[in-house]
Amino acid sequence: MSAALIAACLWALIATLIGLAPRRFHWPGGIALIVTGLPLLVWVFVSDGPVPGVLLLAAQASVLRWPLRFLLRRLLRIGRKAGG
């Protein structure tokens, strides 16, 4: 197992622990997961290929589903304002 996949497993473990923590830690923990998750995703894609990279992307989207929904809503709202 490569170092990138080990780091991805650690990221998932930390995400689980943040999810089990009291609610006041969810948003700060989520921001930390987003900041560390993007470089980790690139690292897994580069070192292990597209299949583990897409699996990690699906796992990250599953863990960070609420921030992803907020981002998509904001992007759609901005697109509607720019389009007309």
pLDDT score at 84: 58
Residue ranges for the chain with pLDDT beneath 50:
none
CA nearest 31: which of 59, 70, 67?
Answer: 67
The tokens describing 43, both together, are 């690292």
pLDDT score at 81: 79
pLDDT score at 60: 92
pLDDT score at 12: 95
Say which amino acid occupies 32: A
pLDDT score at 8: 96
